[in-house]
Structure 1
Amino acid sequence: MLRLCKHAVFMYGRWTNFTLRIFSTSCYSTSPARLGILKRVTEKYERVLEQRFPRFYVLYHTLMRGFQLLFEDVKEIRRIRRNICRNSIHYRQLPYREMERLILFRRDMIKAIPLAVISLPPFGICLVFILMCLFPRQLLFQHFWSPQQQRKFQMISHLKRSEHQAQILRNIASTAPHVSNWSQRTLLQNLCAKVQSGAHPDVSELHAVREVFSGPLLRMQSLKPSHLRSLGSQTPRIVWLPSFLVRRRLTKEALDLLYLDSALNCLGLKQLTDEEMRRACDFRGLYSSHLSSSQCREWLHQWLQFSSQVNKSEISLLLHSITVLTLNYPESQSK
C-alpha cells in the first residue's frame, strides 16, 4: 500500500522543494540566512498568487497542504508497520488510534489508485491535475479538499447514503414475514415498523433479533447481490464489483470495525477529542456535521454498547445496524 503513494509523495517533494534544490546547488550551502531569504521569496510568491490569481491560489494551497498531510501519514504508517513487524502482531491488535489511522490510510490509498496509475506514463501528471480539478470528490480524499469542499462532499455522501438506507430497511422488512420463529418474526417486524415511523430504536431491540441476522435469511452468505450493494453503499465500497468480492470486502470491513470498537472500549470515550469523536461517528455511518459534541458522544456510547456484544459470526447484524442506529438519530429524540 505504501508503494502506491510513493509517486504522490515524490510529486510533493518535487513541487515544494524545487526552488530549494536550485538554491542549494548554485550556492552549495543552505545556511539559516539563505533559508530565511528563500522563505521570504516563497511567501512573497504566494501573496502574489493570492492577490492576482485567487482561484489558482486556493487550488495551490489545498494541494500543497494535501501533499504535506499525505507525507506525514506515510511517515506515521511506516512507523506503525515497523512496530507490527518488530512485535510480530496483527494490525487488529494495535491501539485504537494507530489501528484507525492504518485503516483510514488504506481506504484513502485505494481511492487514489486510479490517479497513481494515470500519473505513471510521461506527461501523465498533467492529466492528473486536470482530473483532480474536474472530479475532486470521486478521485481525491479529505487531505486534498478545501474546508468548503469537505462540507459539501460530506453532505452529498450523506444524501446518497440516506437513499440506500431506506432500501436496506425495506429489504429487512420484506424478509421478516419469512422468519420461521414466531417471536423473532414479531420482534423484527416491530423493529422495522419503529424505524420506518421515524423513531430511534434501543440497543436491546437490536440484540433481541440477533438470531435472525446469523440465520439462513440475513446472514452474509445468504444476502442477494442487490442487498449486498445497498449495504456496501454505507461504507466506502466499490459496489460494481462482483457480488462475491463485495461480500468479501464487506466482511473484512465489518471485522475491522469490530476490532476497532474493542480497541476504543479499552481506550475509553473520555480520551477522545471532539475531532476524533466526530471522525469515529462518521466512520460508523453517522453524519455528525449537524450534531453537537454531546450528541456525538451519546450516540457513540450507544454504538459501543451494541457492538461490544456482537460476535464475529454476527457481522451481518453489525452492518445492518449502521442503518438502523443512524437513520433517525437524533431527530426522533425531539418527537
Structure 2
Amino acid sequence: MALALRVARFGSIPANCWPRDRRRLLHLCSSASDKRQTAFCSRNYATKPEAAAPPQIKRNVAAEITSVGKVIYETGWDANKPIEKPKMQPSSSSCPPPPKKPDDEKRKDLDTLKSKRDQMRDNMQDYIFTRYFNYVKNYDKVLEKNFPKAMQLYRVFFDGVKDFFGDMKRFLKIARIANDSPQGIRALNRQELELYMQMPRDMMKVAPALIGCSLPMVGYAFFPLVFYYPRSFLTAHFWTPQQRSEFQSYYMKRRLGNNKDVFRCLQAKLKATASHPKHSAFANILGQLGSGTHPTPEMLIDVKDIFADGPYSLLGMSRKHVKNLVNLHGLPSSIFKRHRLHEHAFLVHYMDQAITREGGVHNLTPDALRYSCYLRGLNPGGLNSEAMIEWLRKWVKVSTSIQGEHITLFLHLPILLGYNHPNNWKTIYGKCPT
C-alpha cells in the first residue's frame, strides 16, 4: 500500500523530475520484489524456519498507566468485591413468576407447622409416659404373682417406713409445740402424749435397721436379717397385725414377770415405816394383795403420804427395787434408771389428766382402751370394753388425786391395782388364781 501511495505521488510530479524519481521508484520496486521472493523461497524450502522478530512498537507507558488508572477510579472497581453475575432477563416465552404470599399468611403457615410438630411431640410423650407408668403399676402385680412372700415383706417394709416417717414428723411438731407452749407437755392431748413418749424409743430401736438396709453392699444381707428378727430390730410400724398381737403378749408377759419381785420389795421395807401414821393402813393393803384381792382407790389415796419420803420414795428405794420397777414398766435399761422412772410416771400422769379433760375413759375407742391398759400394766387380751373401762377408771381416779411427791405411788399402781387381776395372773402362770 505504501508503494501505491508513492506511485500516486510520483504521478503528480512534473516531467522534469521524472527521470530522477523514476530511478528511485524502480529501485524501490526491485528491492521489494527481491524481499518478497526471498521470503517466499525461505518459507517453502527452508528446513528450519526462523521466527520473525516482533515489530518494535514504541509506547508511552506512563500515559497508558495513567489512562488505565483513571478508568478504574471512575468505574469504582474493587478486587476484593465478589463479581456479580449479570441477571438474565426473563424471556417473553417463559412462565410468569408465581405471586408472592403476604407475610401474615407465611406466619400462619409456620405457626400451623409448629403447632402440628408440638402436638405430635406431646402425643408421643404422653404415650411413652402412659405406657411406662402402666408398666410400673403392673410390675408390682407381676412380682406379687411370682414372688408372693417377698412382695408381702416388701409391702410391709414400705408401709412401715411410710408410717414411721409420718409419726416422726408428727413427733417433731409435737415437741416444738411442747417447747413453745407456756404449759409445756400439759398442753398436749392424750394421743400426742402417747406419741411423745413412744416415738423416741422407736427411733432408737429402728435406726440400726434403717441404716444397715440403706448401705450399698451390706443392705442385701442385712434386709433379710432384719425381717428374720422383727421383734428385735423393728417397731410396731413394721409389724403385721398378727405380729403385733404376738409381740405385745410377749412383752406383757415379760413385764408382768416382775410383779412378784416388786411386791416382795414392798413387803421387805414395811418394817422401816413402822413410825409412819399410815403404817397400819398400808400393811392392810399389802395383806389384801397377798390374799388375792385389791384395795379400793380411796384406800390408796389415803396412804399416799407414805410414798412421799422414807424407803418408798424415789431416792430412798434400793437399786434392786428401782431395777424391778424399770422392768415392770417396760422401760429400756440405762444408767439413769430413776430419771427414766420419773419421766415415765409424769408422762402417764399427764395422759390421765388429758383423758379427764377429753370427757373420761368411756369416750376412748376400743384400740385406745387396749393400748391404755397395756401401757399401765394390765393385759387387755380377752377383756371386753366394760372391764377395761372399769379398771381404767380406778387408775385415773388415783392418778388425778396425787401430786408430784407421790410419784412412787403412781409407779406401784400396776401392783396395787393389777397384781391379782385374773387376766394378768393367767398371763404369768397360765391359769386364773384360785
CA shift at 1:185, angstroms? 2.2
Instruction: For residue 175 of structure 1, report the CA deviation from its aligned partner.
Output: 1.0
- Residue number among 290, 308, 326 corresponding to 2:400 in the alignment: 308
Tell me, what secondary structure is at the counterpart of 2:328? coil
How far did 1:120 drift?
7.3
- Residue 271 of structure 1 aligns with which residue? 363
Asked if 1:236 is matched to 2:327, the reply is no
Residues of 1 paired with 2:265 and 2:180: CA distance? 46
Aligned residue number for residue 187 of structure 2: 93
**Structure 2 vs 1, CA of residues 123 and 313 (structure 1 numbering), >3 Å: closer, same or farther?**
farther
Q: Please name the residue that 2:295 is paired with.
A: 201
Give the match for residue 60 of structure 1.
Answer: 154
Residue 323 in structure 1 maps to residue 415 in structure 2: yes
TM-score by length of 1: 0.80
Q: Quick one: distance in 1 between partners of 2:284 and 2:130?
A: 71
Residue in 1 that maps onto 2:231: 137
1-side partners of 2:127 and 2:322: how far apart? 60
Q: Following TM superposition, by how much is the alpha carbon of 1:118 offset from its aligned partner in structure 2, in angstroms?
A: 5.0
Residue 273 to residue 222, structure 1, CA distance change in 2 (3 Å):
same
Matched, 1:218 2:309: no
TM-aligned CA distance change 1:117 to 1:89, over 3 Å: farther
Q: Which amino acid is the alignment partner of residue 48 of structure 1?
A: N
Using the aligned pairs only, state the percent identity: 25
Partner residue of 1:47 out of 145, 152, 155: 145
Structure-1 separation of matches of 2:253 and 2:154: 29
Q: Which has the higher contact order (CA 8 A, sep 6+)?
A: 1
Q: 1:164 aligns with which of 248, 258, 275?
A: 258
Partner of 2:267: 173
- Give distance in 1, aligned partners of 2:313 and 2:254: 25
1:11 aligned residue: none
User: Residue 203 and residue 83 in structure 1: after superposition, are their counterparts in 2 closer, same or farther (change >3 A)?
Assistant: same
Counterparts of 2:133 and 2:433 in 1: how far apart (Å)? 58
How big is the shift at 1:33? 7.2
Give the counterpart letter for 2:145 in structure 1: R
| Greater C-alpha Rg | 2
* Equivalent of residue 196 in structure 2, options 99, 102, 107: 102
Query: What is the deviation of 1:216?
Result: 1.1
Summarize the Cα distance change of 1:147–1:266 in structure 2 as closer, same or farther, 3 Å threshold. same
CA RMSD of aligned residues (A): 2.9
Paired residues, number: 302
Structure 1's 130 and 39: CA in aligned 2 closer, same or farther, altered over 3 A?
A: closer
Of 244, 247, 255, which aligns to 2:338?
Answer: 247
Larger helix proportion, structure 1 or 2? 1
Kindly provide the CA deviation profile for residues 87-124 of structure 1, in whole angstroms up to 9, marking residues without a partner as x.
56623321222222222212312322443565676534
Structure 1 residue 234 displacement after superposition = 2.0
| Residue number in structure 2 paired with 1:22 | none
Change (3 A) 1:28 1:252: farther
Match of 1:15 in 2: none
Structure 1: runs of 5+ lacking an equivalent: 1-26
Following the alignment from structure 1 to structure 2, what is the Cα–Cα distance between the partners of residues 117 and 188?
51
Q: Does the CA-based 8 Å contact 1:92-1:256 persist in structure 2?
A: no
Aligned partners of 1:152, 1:126: CA distance in 2, in Å?
A: 27
